[in-house]
Amino acid sequence: MLDGAPILLTASPVTNQLTNPKNGGPSDVRQTNQDHRVAVVTGGAGAIGGAIVARLAPDHTVVVLDRTGDVVVDLGDTDDVRWAAKLVLDRHGRCDVFVHAAATFAFGPLEQVELDAWRQVQAVNVEAALLLTQAFAPGMRDRGFGRVIFIVSNTFWSPPDGQMLSYVASKGALIGMTRTLAAGLGRDGIAVTAVAPGLTRTPASATRAAAEFADTEAHMALHRPLTPDDTAAVVAMLARDEAEALTGQTLTADGGLVMR
């Protein structure tokens, strides 16, 4: 699953307007509707992230962390991520559902892997997820309800080639975090899960060869292209109260390509 390289924070138009004082801009904020739970979605301006936002919006006040909008926050920068989390909590007072859909990637064989690029992928894909979960989990614990959902990838079980080492490694780290956080937070009413899409047709995956899409779809049980909403529908289900017992699990939404 590839869905772009979100680096920045913005506010969803369905909720409010947030402004980073470091960058200037408007500061008016429409207050959160307290009848709705608050969902924070990184990568919400991407294809898969946007589909997740659309699915969650009817039942949640959604705040999107991404590369466009009124607040510019680098998801690869520790201080910026912590500042972003504080701003969300200052404006909304809570986060009930946290979805980490943002991802960046680098391609190349082993001998061409550069440490700086490797670290950037891990910072955005893994460390931002950790920092934001650290920021939002205490409030979830206090309210006795929380959902943490990481978007990973079926490439963890079936890498298409050797060109995506840093990306696949980052998704494996998130799967490990899912299991460990589930064990640690379950008693507090916080369910932690992951969703692993397959190769999905998005602007970010346009660099993949048409033959790769054709071959992937030919081996899927569904024999049809995957859409961003295939992932979003699973995320919306996991955000519900009734999905609590799925904590610790990674659901593979790839049309039956990887069966495990």
Q: Which residues are catalytic?
A: 167
Q: Report the distance separating Cα 239 and Cα 142, nearest Å.
A: 18
- What count of other Cβ atoms lies within 10 Å of the Cβ of residue 134? 12
Q: Where are the alpha helices (DSSP H) in 57-192?
A: 78-92, 115-122, 128-143, 165-185
Beta bridge partners of 200: 226
> What residue type is assigned to position 191 of the chain?
A
Beta bridge partners of 220: none
3-state helix, strand, coil in the chain (%, to 5): 45, 15, 40
- What count of other Cβ atoms lies within 10 Å of the Cβ of residue 245? 8
Q: Which residue has the tokens 């490694």?
A: 169
Q: Where are the alpha helices (DSSP H) in the chain?
A: 47-56, 78-92, 115-122, 128-143, 165-185, 210-219, 228-238
Residue 3 and residue 202 in contact, taking contact as beta carbons nearer than 8 Å: yes
Q: Report the distance separating Cα 227 and Cα 54, nearest Å.
A: 14
